[in-house]
A and B are shown apart, each in its own frame.
Chain A
Amino acid sequence: MVETLLFVVMALVAIAGAALVVLARNPVYSALGLLGTLLSVAVLYVVQLAHMVAAVQVIVYAGAVLTLFLFVIMLIGVDKDEPSRDETLPFQRWIVGGVAAVIVLFAAGLTLFGDFDWVPAASSDVLPEATNGTIEAIAEPLFTDWVLAFEATALLLTIAAAGAIALAHYRRREG
């Protein structure tokens, strides 16, 4: 009961935050809306007993990534008197919105009334206490079965560094 209530409240907060990200005129409000979404999703992770993921969500996303966003927004400068933008997509916006609404309603209807097999195999043989989201439960597979995936992310970091230099170095030479 508590779980359901918590889920409903937090899901609503998450959706409201996501809507604020898109709708807010002031980019700082958008960032704060994103913060609300990220934090409420973190609470949902806690409800799922994924404590480690919840902690990472708060530290990495709500902490580091959002701070970075705010830095960028502040550096670019928040211009409150932003002139009303020209509407270049007069009706496409509504069409896409309508299609998206239909898809969301369809998915919601499916979830409510559909007959689904969610995770038929995984849930049966995994002990709930073993997946309690502890650091050990995550670290052990990460450095045994998933070690290659873990190492492959190192390539991503190298690309980020090399790519940033490759793209930014040109402008600096110009200036």
Chain B
Amino acid sequence: MITPEISWIAIFPELLLALGAAGVLLVEVQWKPDKSVLGTIAAGSVVFAAAFTVLQWVDASDAVEAGAVGDLVAFSGMVLMDGMAIFGRFVILAVTGFGIMAGWRYIESLGRRSAEAIALVLLASAGFSIMVASNNLVMMFLGLEVGSIALYVLAGMSRERVRSDEAAIKYFLLGSFASAVFIYGVALLYAGTGQFEVLAIRQFLSDTLLLSPAVALIGTALVIVGLGFKVSAAPFHSWAPDVYQGAPSGLVGYMAAIAKIAGFVAIARILLTGLSEFELNWLPIVAGIAALSMLLGSMVALVQGDVRRMLAYSGVAHAGFIMTGVVGASTSGILFYLAVYALQLVGAFAVVSAVSGPANAGSEIDDYRGLSTRSPMLALSFAVILLGMAGLPLTSGFIAKFGVFASAWSTGYEWLVIVAVLASVIAFAFYLRIIVVMFMTDDEGDDLPVPGTLRWVLGVAVVTTIVWGVLPGSLLRAATDALPL
């Protein structure tokens, strides 16, 4: 009898998340407990999964030190337990925990549907977390679908608002189309190389001289398009503003951050590991996407009157900045940027949900007038987060930007770095615009209370933005150690 090769340790965090989701659903059906019980189950599964990820990290670094790299390949090549997978998974789990905390007020307001919302968040994280660990491209697609489909539903949770329905439908249609493009690219990569596994594709391409690699190259292009959509890089970004605006604001930060983390780790894995032999072919495309995203994102963000749309376009620009890390072939730069940006994104949307209500659509910039007197803590932390996103020196955003720009410069893409710096300067303008509105306009409206869970999220976002800006050593070392196989 043939037995499958099962290694529980490689997928235990995902297993815990799935168990947490199942537990939340079943407990809700059986006992209809207080919302805090459901929250505790979810928090427990996320915390234990994160703790287990640390164990995986120790395990993986031991294996690398002992030279037993083969131990890091699990489930007959389906998933990996390399540094990049574990780092990405840890960031995903952190974002999940803070995302649930930031969206807790919204989740509570859902009444009987809150169990489903928590379960969907946990399942989305499980999917994306499998995606960052995938070696097999089909597995990667499955992880992508598990995560994306859960996010489509979350985008439409607020049924009382048409905008939420619109966001969900747009996200669903365009997202399914992008998934189809991605899986078609995977099929063509398979047709061109005969392999599904990223490591095997790398092996095949370095061993074989393909005289006419057109099939594999078309596959590469389609994979870039499919994943470019998921990380909202221009010109595949058209869904982002509507979804960021329409989806429940308590959950948008989580949704945007998690899709970016998983998408960029997948891009790094496929392009930098699997298709590094095709570098000359995809580098110009990725550089073009990066330049377009940075310029378009930061320029269109300038003219937005809605903070959520502004953050969506700034997300497009950030996708471009992270793409320069792909051009520079620096996985540590990409991972550092992702960790820093993901936490800032969750923090920024925590502020948005505090200012314009957790379920509300849109967040006009006028809502932020005089926020410094209405809620000094909120205004101050939003200012720090925005300056971090803008990449002011002594914030983590600066170190992140410096890392990816330096790597792109050293690979000979000087023009891209110049474009990137230019785009960062433009981006400063709209981040400053919000800060000016918050601090230099008159007080309008009542004082804003900040719920307890949001305080924690904001505190973490602010502290990490400053601490990793002044003393980035710890995170930099972890990101540098988080090597892909």
Residues of A participating in the B interface, judged by any CB pair closer than 8 Å: 110, 114-123, 140, 143-149, 152-153, 155-156, 158-160, 162-163, 165-167, 169-171, 173
B130 to A170, Cβ gap below 8 A?
no
CB nearest to A153 among chain B residues: B142
Q: What are 14 A-B pairs with beta-carbon distances under 8 A?
A: A117-B214, A118-B215, A120-B210, A122-B194, A144-B3, A145-B4, A147-B75, A148-B11, A152-B139, A152-B146, A155-B126, A162-B21, A166-B153, A171-B159
**Cβ of B221 under 8 Å from chain A:** no
**Chain A residues near B156 (CB-CB < 8 A):** 167
Binds A, one of B38-46, B116-124, B280-288: B116-124
**Cβ of B61 under 8 Å from chain A:** no
**Chain A residues near B3 (CB-CB < 8 A):** 144
A158 to B123, Cβ gap below 8 A?
yes
* Cβ contact of B145, chosen from A119, A156, A170, cutoff 8 A: A156
**Chain A residues near B76 (CB-CB < 8 A):** 144-145
B204 to A165, Cβ gap below 8 A?
no
**Cβ of B448 under 8 Å from chain A:** no
A159 to B210, Cβ gap below 8 A?
no
A155 to B194, Cβ gap below 8 A?
no
**Chain B residues near A119 (CB-CB < 8 A):** 190-192, 194
Given that A144-B3, A156-B146 are contacting pairs, would A118 and B78 also be in contact in the complex, using a CB cutoff of 8 Å? no
Cα-based distance from A162 to B28 in the complex (angstroms): 12
Interface of B is mostly: helix
Given that A120-B208, A159-B123 are contacting pairs, would A110 and B194 also be in contact in the complex, using a CB cutoff of 8 Å? no
**Chain A residues near B223 (CB-CB < 8 A):** none
- Add 8 more A-B contacts to A147-B6, A159-B120 (CB < 8 A): A114-B212, A119-B190, A119-B194, A144-B4, A149-B142, A166-B116, A169-B112, A170-B113
**Chain A residues near B421 (CB-CB < 8 A):** none
Q: Which residues 114-166 in B have Cβ within 8 Å of A in the complex? A: 116-117, 119-120, 123, 126-127, 130, 136, 138-139, 142-143, 145-146, 149-150, 152-153, 156-157, 159-160
B210 to A117, Cβ gap below 8 A?
yes
* Cβ contact of B78, chosen from A115, A148, A156, cutoff 8 A: A148
Rounded to whole Å, the gap between the CB of B267 and the closest CB of chain A is: 20
Residues of B participating in the A interface, judged by any CB pair closer than 8 Å: 2-6, 11, 18, 21-22, 25, 75-79, 111-113, 116-117, 119-120, 123, 126-127, 130, 136, 138-139, 142-143, 145-146, 149-150, 152-153, 156-157, 159-160, 190-195, 204, 208, 210-215
Given that A122-B194, A148-B139 are contacting pairs, would A159 and B215 also be in contact in the complex, using a CB cutoff of 8 Å? no
Give me the 3 closest cross-chain CB pairs, A-B, nearest first: A121-B194, A122-B194, A163-B153
Rounded to whole Å, the gap between the CB of A66 and the closest CB of chain B is: 19
Given that A117-B211, A119-B191, A149-B142 are contacting pairs, would A170 and B159 also be in contact in the complex, using a CB cutoff of 8 Å? yes
A144 to B2, Cβ gap below 8 A?
yes
CB nearest to A158 among chain B residues: B123
B160 to A170, Cβ gap below 8 A?
yes
Rounded to whole Å, the gap between the CB of B484 and the closest CB of chain A is: 19
A121 to B195, Cβ gap below 8 A?
yes
**Chain A residues near B136 (CB-CB < 8 A):** 149
Cα-based distance from A105 to B160 in the complex (angstroms): 46
Rounded to whole Å, the gap between the CB of B6 and the closest CB of chain A is: 7
Cα-based distance from A159 to B18 in the complex (angstroms): 11
Among the interface residues A143, A156, A163, which one has the most CB atoms of the partner chain B within 10 A? Answer: A163
CB nearest to A107 among chain B residues: B218
**Chain A residues near B215 (CB-CB < 8 A):** 116-118
B210 to A155, Cβ gap below 8 A?
no
Given that A152-B146, A165-B116, A166-B117 are contacting pairs, would A158 and B22 also be in contact in the complex, using a CB cutoff of 8 Å? yes
B212 to A115, Cβ gap below 8 A?
yes
**Chain B residues near A169 (CB-CB < 8 A):** 112-113, 116
* Cβ contact of A147, chosen from B4, B142, B157, cutoff 8 A: B4
A148 to B75, Cβ gap below 8 A?
yes
* Cβ contact of B130, chosen from A122, A152, A159, cutoff 8 A: A152
CB nearest to A124 among chain B residues: B194
Given that A147-B75, A163-B153 are contacting pairs, would A118 and B191 also be in contact in the complex, using a CB cutoff of 8 Å? yes
**Chain B residues near A143 (CB-CB < 8 A):** 4
**Chain B residues near A116 (CB-CB < 8 A):** 212, 214-215
Cα-based distance from A43 to B76 in the complex (angstroms): 33
A163 to B160, Cβ gap below 8 A?
no
Cα-based distance from A144 to B152 in the complex (angstroms): 31
**Chain B residues near A110 (CB-CB < 8 A):** 214
Cα-based distance from A110 to B218 in the complex (angstroms): 12
**Chain A residues near B152 (CB-CB < 8 A):** 163
**Chain A residues near B153 (CB-CB < 8 A):** 159, 162-163, 166-167
